[in-house]
Every structure is written in structure tokens, then in C-alpha cells.
Chain A
Amino acid sequence: MNIELALQTFLDESRELLSDMEQILLDLESQPGESELQNALFRCVHTVKGSAGMFGLDHVVDFTHVVENVLDRLRAGEIKLSKALANLLLRCRDHISLLVEVPEPAEAVDLQPAGNALLVELEPFQSLPASGNGQTPQPQNSEHGKGDLWRIGMRIQADALRHGMDPLGFIRFLGTLGELVSVNTLDDGLPRLDQLDPEACYLAFEIELRTTANRAAIEDVFEFAGDLYQLQLQEPGSAPEAVAAPATTDMDIVEAGSREGKMQPADQADAQRGRRRKPVQHFRVQADKLDHLINLVGELVIASAAVSLDADRSGNSTARESAANLNLLVEEIRDSSLDLRMVPIGETFQKFQRVVRDVSSELSKDIELVITGADTELDKTVVEKIGDPLTHLVRNACDHGIESPAERSQKGKPALGRVHLNAYHESGAIVIEVSDDGSGLNRDRIIAKAVERELVRADAELSDREAFNLIFEPGFSTVEQVTNLSGRGVGMDVVRRNIEALRGAVELVSPGVAGGTTFRIRLPLTLAIIDGFLARVGEATYVVPLEMVVECTELSAEQQAVSNEQHYIKLRHEVLPLIRLREHFSHGGERSRRQNIIVVRHGGQKAGLIVDELLGEHQTVIKPLSGIFSHLKGLSGSTILGSGQVALILDVPALMHQVAQHEDVANRGIHPNARPRLSASYS
């Protein structure tokens, strides 16, 4: 029995529809009266109601019914979408999204008072007083007796009932589109009692429906039944015989299938004719199946690296050639399968329309959100995790970035403040910017506060960049300092930690892109694979993410001598701080006679990693490290080499950060008390 699964589908679809609904409501504010949008709005609620009805979620049906009535009047032009009504409908949307998460009507009692309050508010917008307070949902009788006569042939796979797709629910819901003129239940498929599988479906139906709805609306009813239902939709006005004939032959298929106890392959032509409406066809794949595939591809990449290695060693030129061919194909497969998980960031950005709207009205500021680069794609797994940090930054921009209207007019700025979300690709990474056109950061105030919190010494000399980025230090913002809005439990240090957990980085630029401040987040396109540069230190192999590598070179004898004495060398007139991996990671053993340096860059700073040997580029699949290593600094993950050995991936930003701190402590007088806190930010 798979009713759980069906419910899950219902939940997924409802969440999607409700997020559409929110977007449409916001769009309608800028394009009032747009009839396409109003229709779409109605359909969202209508579909949620219908699906909920099929699962007997009366608490959802009762409430959405009233909202649906109001939206019906809206699309009929009987009422207008005032700001007040838009607000109310947004709150109703929020309430519905709470309701759909409750699996049983009985468990929804807690939500009842809030729901009733909204229903009272909806009252003035409701159509007929006769419909009362909307406690009893009625089919839309308004469409009774109107419209065209559709004949619908409904074939059902034997498994449908087990998946929770009971035809009764669909038929009842069809009834809400208009009038069920007749329903003919075909029970010819029923086997003998001793052959009956009581959970299989043997019935088929022929339905006559009089409705004003179009083909798409009727097909929508069956949207989430997937291939379990096959429809024959008879256009109004055409000959009725055409339906009956295929319906009977189809019955045979269903019957034969169910006797065998297995599902017949769906008649694809039919299924596609019924479902293909959009130029680009999508279909739903369970996320974990996709993840599993990508894991397997990861294994394949490793295995194929091993094959190449063996082929190279064997000296057999045919084997080497075959391995090279294989490698090319594997790379293509890897790219295409990773591509499957790429989604545009626009959907995530759109969610912030609502955030900005709510926050600005709470703050009595006038703020618009501008979105650019919505088509920029990145891995779904990254998208899922970027929401929280972004929310915080957007709230922060509204709260602290944008000035009050009075202040703005004083400065001769337009009263309407602007928050800008932007995304673009840059050298194998995605960059997301949150900008505001506010007054920007006050360097002195930040330093004063950092000194007060003992994060830096009063006499510390800091560049603007260093000063601004102090706000990411733990302990910088405290609850008493921030307003109710952005002070919801997290500080900027948490934002930075979340982003760094995704192998990303965040920095603050002021003045920013739009004048005020800009938070710039840089994230890898995918968390699954990394182009790395391999280096040996003692017996260990480390991987440096290739995008951070500037150059690799052997240290000259002279440089080596210099570097033994101090923590930096001069490389082409630049002073380059050094990180000796052997010492840093406390590897024992002797340094090899020839030392090599890998110059890495991160966030505008460079550093040199001293290693024993350079082993070249290697594309690697990232394997997460066990939770035991969660506090480990300077390493971000692991990977498996062609030889089967595990290599550790260096977390270059963290390494550089650690080294910078030591330098700060040594040279520039960051308060020593700050140390434990600072290092905690990398835990």
C-alpha cells in the first residue's frame, strides 16, 4: 500500500502550488487586474483543495474552499485586489501551507482559531451570504448546466489503489468542475472471487461531464496520478462511438495485466498525448535516486582513473588508448549527470520578494527587491543550503543597510530603497551578491565595536577590507545590539560558517555595487566533484582545489634558505606568506631536499604552500569525512585516488585564515583574547 507515497506527492505539489500562489500575489501587486494571473491564482487554490479532498483532508478543504470563493470573485472582476486583500490572501496562503502539513483533520484543531480569524476577515470578500462561513464545502454549482459535454474514458492500472489513487476521489473532484451527467462503471474486468486480488483495481469508468473547463483543466485533475491513469478525452461535439471502442479493448489490457498480478507497461502514446502540454517536458525524479546515480558516477570516475593508471604502467599502447577513450566518456557522463542536478537560482531568489515585502512593512520602509542573473545554475544540493544564509543577509540589508525614509529624503535619495540580488558564474564558481543602496558601513563604528568586544586591539592597523570583515567574527553582533528583525538568533559568524561549510566564502564590500554595501558569496557549482592539484607531504597526499592554485614551482636553493629563516619569501616582487604543510600538520620525518611551492589565492590574498613533491592535476570525487572530523581545521574532505589510497582535501581559505591570525597576533596586535573565539569560527 503506498498511500504514504501519494500523500508525499500531494505535499510536494501543494508546496509548489502555494509557492506559485505567493509569487502570483506579489506579481499581481505590480500588474493589478491581469486576468491570466488571476486565473492562475484561482487554479492554485482550486487544485490544492481538490487534491486535499481526495485524501479526505477536510480541514484543508474547508478553509481553501472559502479562499477559492474569494479568488473566484476576484477573477470574475466582482472584487478588486486591494493592498489589504493581498495581505490577507498572503496570510491565508501561509495558513494553507500549515494546514496541508497536518495529516489528519483531527490534528488540525490547534490551527482552528487562526483559521477562523482569517475566515472572519475573508467574510466581506465572500460572494453569497448563503454560503455562510464556508464550513461545508459545496461543489461549484455555479457551473451546473453550463458548458460543453465531455466524455471521459478512464483506464486505471491495477496498482492504482495501492498507490492511494482511488478513482472515486478523481470522479468526485471532476464533479467540482461542473456537472457529472453520467458515470458508467465498467466491472467486466472483475475476476472470479478466488482469483481476486482485493487491493488491485479492476474497474474502469466512462464519464460524461458537463463543464466550462477546458481540456487542460480536466487533465490537471489527473496530474499527479502519473501513469496510473490513462485518459481518453472526447472533445465536445465529436462522435461518442470513438471513445467506447478503445475503452473496451483497453479493459482487456488492464484485466490481463491484473490477472498476471503485474503492471502492464503504460501505453506511451496515450500517456503522452494526455500529458504533453508544455514545449519542454519535465518529469519528476526522486531526489535520492539522482543522488545515488551521482554517487555511482563518482565511483566510476575513480575506477576509470585507476584503469588509466594501470594502463599507463602496463606500457601497452592499445590499453592506454582504450583507457583514454573510456576516460573521455566517463567525463561526459559525469558532466551530464551533474547537470541533471543543476537548477537555476531564480526560484530561490523569488522567495525573497516576500521576505523583503514583509520586512519592509515591519520596518515601515519602502524597499523593492531587484533580481538579476536568475538563470544562473548551480547544484540543487547547494541551493538547498544557501537559503538560510541568504535570508539573513537580505533581512540584514533591509534592516541595517537601507536607511529610514526620513534619512533617505534628507540625503536626497529616492524614498524607495533597493535591495539587489544578483548571481553570475565566475571561473568555476557561482557568485551571489546581496547589495543595498543604503549608506554603507561606518568603518570607525565597526572598529569601535570590535575593540569593545575585545576582538581587536585599539591600536590595530586594519585595512578597510579587514575592518569590514570583522562583522563576521563570532561575538561581534550580540542580541542587545541588533533589532528584533535581524537578531533572530544568528549572527554574521553563523552566516559565514554556513557558507564555508559549502566550501564557499563570503566577503563584504563597502561601498558596494549599488552604493551601500555588497555581500559577495562565492560558492562551488557542485559539492560532488573537485578539480584538484595533488601534492605529496611525507607519505601523505593532499589535494589542493585547482581553482585556488595560481602557480607551482620548485623552490630555488636560495629561496629555500631564506624560507627556513622566515615565514615568507619574495616571489616576483611580491611578499608571499608561507605555510609549511609538513610542520603545520605535524608530519614527522625529514624534509625532502627539494622543496616545492604551490601558490594559492583566496579572497584577494595569496599564500605559498610548501610541499615535498608536486604530483599534478587530478579530478576527484569528494567524499565527506565522518562526523568525528567535524572540528578539524584546514581540511575540507577526502577523496580516493586511482591507487585506492585516501587523500585529504585542503581547505585553503581556512588554512590562510589560520595563518593570517597567527601573523596578526605576532605583528599587528589583534587582541590575544580573541584567539580562542576566532579559531572557534572554523569549528
Chain B
Amino acid sequence: MNQPQRKEEAVRIADTSGDQNQYLTFQIGREMFAVGILYIREIIEYGSLTTVPMMPEFVRGVINLRGSVVPVIDLSARFGRGESAINRRSCVVILEVEGINGDEEQLQEIGVIVDAVSEVLEIPPGEIEPPPSFGARIRADFIAGMGKVQGNFVILLNVQQALNTREMAELAAIVDAPKDARDY
């Protein structure tokens, strides 16, 4: 039982050791974003989504990912820019982040909706600037840095913060409250 698992792990570590500077870039609205590929598990087509009632706009629903039920977050809504309109190129990028599950912190898969996936790029640390203190129209703590790619800036997402499960759960609780008091 243990042997093959360990091997797999070893392979993964070996494979990814050179990937520190690799980023997956994608589009949300008209802006380019990037996420370190070490967070990326897979990219799947948008579809077969089950909406979960009484959740804030940015929680789009849940999908069946090979037997696991994985939440799907609408990043555009999370950034306060309104719901993503689904188009032919819309994808769900599955990321792995630290999150709460019950009382425990553990790695969790979360899907995010993006308007289009672009490519995997190498962005060396020297090409990354600190996040701007204002003007990005996105909460500063969601931004890990600004990467320079061919003269343009891409926003490097702070995945752990943008997909902070604890915070999202608390936001969901607030959204829920007024509906709960609705008259019957």
C-alpha cells in the first residue's frame, strides 16, 4: 500500500522542483491573472454544476470531480465585479489550497471559473513587482504580486487568500442571515 504512494510523491516532488517560477495565466473579464502551477490540479470544462442555495453570488455551486464534491468559486464575483458570463471558452480550474473542513485545516480542492485559460508561462522572481497599494480594483491581499509579461502586467493571485475558505464561509453566513429572517 505505502510503497507506490511514496513513489508517486517522490516523482511529484522531482517533477515540480523546477516549477517554482511557472504560472498558469488565464483571463477573467478583460484582465490577465496568473496562479503558480504548483496549486493547479487540473482544468476541466464548465458544466454539470449543482447550485447550492442561500450562498453568496461568488459561490457558483458544486461539481462532481471523480467522486469528490468540489465547490466552484466565481472569481469575478469574488472580486466584486459581478458574475462571470459563461461562454464557450469558460473553464473550471481546480486548485488545491489549505482550507477548513469541520475544525481541521487540510488541503482542499476548489474550482474557480475563468473566462479563458491562456498558457503556462515562466515568470522569474526578478520580473515580479510587489502589489500596488491602490488602483488594482481588487483587494490588495488577493494579490501576491504583479508579473511583467511581454511588457504587460498580469496579476499574480494570492490563492490562499483569494480562496480563504474560512472567510468565504463567514461571508456565506452573513448572506444567509437576511434570507433566514424572511417572512413565511
Contact = CB atoms under 8 A, between A and B. Distances in A.
Direct contact, A vs B (beta carbon within 8 Å): yes
Given A634-B54, A658-B180, A629 B67 contact: no
A302 B55 CA distance: 27
B50 interface: yes
Contact of A625 (B62, B166, B176): B62
Which of B1, B55, B100, B180 gathers most chain A CB within 10 Å?
Answer: B180
Interface in B45-92: 48, 50-55, 59, 62-64, 67-71
A302 B184 contact: no
A244 interface: no
B23 to A, nearest CB: 25
B64 A640 contact: yes
Contacts of B166: 627
B167 to A, nearest CB: 10
B8 interface: no
Interface string A68-103: 000000000000000000000000000000000000
Interface string A619-645: 000011111111111110010100011
Contacts of B27: none
Contact of A683 (B1, B70, B173): B173
B7 interface: no
B165 A626 contact: yes
Contact of A631 (B1, B70, B172): B172
Interface in B142-184: 165-166, 168-170, 172-173, 176-177, 179-181, 183-184
Contact of B101 (A623, A624, A645): A624
A632 B179 CA distance: 12
Nearest to B108: A626
A585 B50 contact: no
Given A638-B69, A640-B64, A645-B48, A628 B168 contact: yes
Contacts of B169: 627-631
Given A625-B69, A627-B166, A628-B59, A635 B100 contact: no
Contacts of B177: 676, 679
Contacts of A289: 1
B67 A626 contact: no
Contacts of B131: none
B184 A635 contact: no
Contacts of B69: 623-626, 638, 640, 646
Contacts of B183: 662, 666
Nearest to A623: B69
Interface of A: 289, 298-299, 302, 501, 540-541, 567, 584-587, 623-635, 638, 640, 644-648, 658-659, 662-663, 666, 675-676, 679, 683
Interface of B: 1, 48, 50-55, 59, 62-64, 67-71, 99-102, 108, 110, 165-166, 168-170, 172-173, 176-177, 179-181, 183-184
30 contacts: A501-B102, A540-B51, A567-B184, A584-B53, A585-B53, A624-B69, A624-B101, A624-B102, A625-B62, A627-B100, A627-B165, A627-B169, A628-B59, A628-B168, A628-B169, A629-B71, A629-B172, A631-B169, A631-B170, A632-B52, A632-B172, A633-B54, A633-B180, A634-B54, A638-B50, A645-B50, A648-B50, A663-B184, A679-B177, A679-B180
